[in-house]
């Protein structure tokens, strides 16, 4: 099993419920077990500010799925929850699921870059990840705790508490 960290985000169509549904879907992935989910955080949007605030979280998943297969599964979940892929990179969305870390691997394929290319600059990734894995070392970047110290919270607020290991489906 490989420990994978996933970023979750939504700001359309009841974003809190979108993330709750996504966590349930993640808990049902084949060859995988959901280990933990951070608190849900409210955050300001990246890019255009004329869109609703986001709800973000990080999930820890233990899996034997290859990285590209996992990416396919995440994109399937996004589509099932109404995600429409557009050219607007930082525009509003019903659900965004990103592979942040795939074990200790460094991957660069046409479809996938791991560690996630912008994670070290994003408070809505770093602080939820820090909640789950405070001792984590990010391949090629360094200690998560040291990286997080360099990134201000930028209004990041906890909306709901996280889930402990072993919980399959959240009831919030």
**Catalytic residue numbers?**
83, 93, 96, 98
- 15-26 and 67-80 helices cross at what angle (nearest 10)? 140
Which tokens is 114 given? 């791991």
Which residues face 63 on adjacent strands? 2, 32
Distance between CA 23 and CA 122 in Å, rounded? 21
**DSSP letter string, 40-85:** EEEEPPSS-SSSPPEEEEEEEEEE-S-HHHHHHHHHHHHHHTT---
CA pair distance 49, 134, nearest whole angstrom: 30
Q: Specify the 3-state DSSP secondary structure of 114.
A: strand
């Amino acid at each position: 099993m490989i420990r994978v960290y996933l970023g979750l985000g939504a700001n359309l169509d009841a974003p809190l419920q979108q993330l709750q549904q996504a966590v349930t879907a993640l808990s049902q992935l084949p060859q995988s077990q959901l280990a933990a989910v951070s608190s849900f955080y409210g955050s300001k949007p990246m890019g255009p500010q004329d869109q609703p605030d986001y709800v973000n979280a990080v999930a820890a998943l233990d899996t034997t799925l290859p990285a590209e297969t996992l990416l396919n599964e995440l994109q399937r979940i996004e589509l099932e929850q109404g995600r429409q892929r557009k050219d607007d990179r930082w525009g509003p969305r019903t659900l965004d699921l990103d592979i942040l870390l795939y074990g200790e691997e460094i991957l660069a394929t046409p479809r996938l870059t791991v560690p996630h290319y912008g994670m070290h600059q994003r408070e809505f990734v770093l602080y939820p990840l820090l909640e789950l894995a405070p001792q984590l070392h990010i391949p090629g970047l360094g200690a998560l705790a040291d990286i997080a110290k360099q990134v201000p919270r930028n209004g990041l607020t906890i909306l709901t508490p996280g889930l402990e290991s072993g919980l399959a489906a959240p009831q919030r």
